[in-house]
């Protein structure tokens, strides 16, 4: 496996790849961010396209990511993450709306847990999920990071 870290305007991210696709983009501050294994190789070259796209995103020149990625999770998590992928730049959804969309309207808390387990932060836009009252809720990168990303995309929310 390969990895690199980069400092973004929203915080430090850890990128993980098997050399073919990106397998993880995690906030360094998150308690469940995977640790770098001893046999992983730090290699920024493998992530050039990814880092370039992130630079474009933070510069306001990109709204979607086009590099290859893959994620592993339970069937439920994958359903939630696929629903997150449908939330367009500049828009938001709620935990309840996602639960409804995947046919599990009573699983709002489980949806929240799956959102919090998102292995590809920003690319799978979990930052675009707000509470039903349009408040922030939690975020793996911290509330300051989520606030920054939402403002970057022009998404209005309640403090």
- E-only strand ranges, 9-150: 11-17, 22-27, 41-42, 93-94, 129-130
Among 65, 56, 100, 55, CA closest to 85: 65
- End-to-end, the C-alpha distance of the chain in Å comes to 40
State both tokens at 2: 């390969």
Question: Which of 108, 126, 129, 130 is the catalytic position?
Answer: 126
Give the three-state DSSP class for 59. Answer: coil
Q: How far apart are CA 146 and CA 47, in angstroms?
A: 23
Question: What is the per-residue burial (b if ≥16 Cβ within 10 Å, else e) of 46-79?
Answer: bbeebbebbeebbeeeeeebebebebeeeeebeb
Is 126 an active-site residue?
yes
The residues that are catalytic are 126
């Amino acid at each position: 496996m390969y990895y690199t870290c980069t400092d973004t305007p929203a915080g430090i991210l850890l990128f993980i790849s098997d050399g073919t696709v990106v397998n993880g983009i995690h906030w360094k501050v998150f308690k469940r961010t995977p640790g770098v294994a001893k046999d992983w190789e730090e290699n920024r070259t493998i992530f050039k396209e990814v880092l370039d796209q992130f630079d474009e995103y933070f510069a306001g020149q990109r709204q979607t990511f086009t590099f290859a990625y893959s994620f592993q999770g339970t069937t439920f998590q994958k359903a939630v993450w696929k629903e997150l992928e449908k939330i367009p730049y500049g828009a938001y959804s709620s935990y309840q709306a996602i639960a409804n969309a995947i046919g599990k309207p009573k699983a709002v808390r489980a949806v929240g847990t799956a959102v919090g387990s998102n292995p590809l932060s920003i690319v799978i836009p979990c930052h675009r999920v707000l509470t039903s009252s349009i408040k922030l809720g939690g975020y793996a990168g911290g509330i300051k990071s989520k606030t920054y990303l939402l403002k970057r995309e022009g998404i209005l929310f309640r403090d």
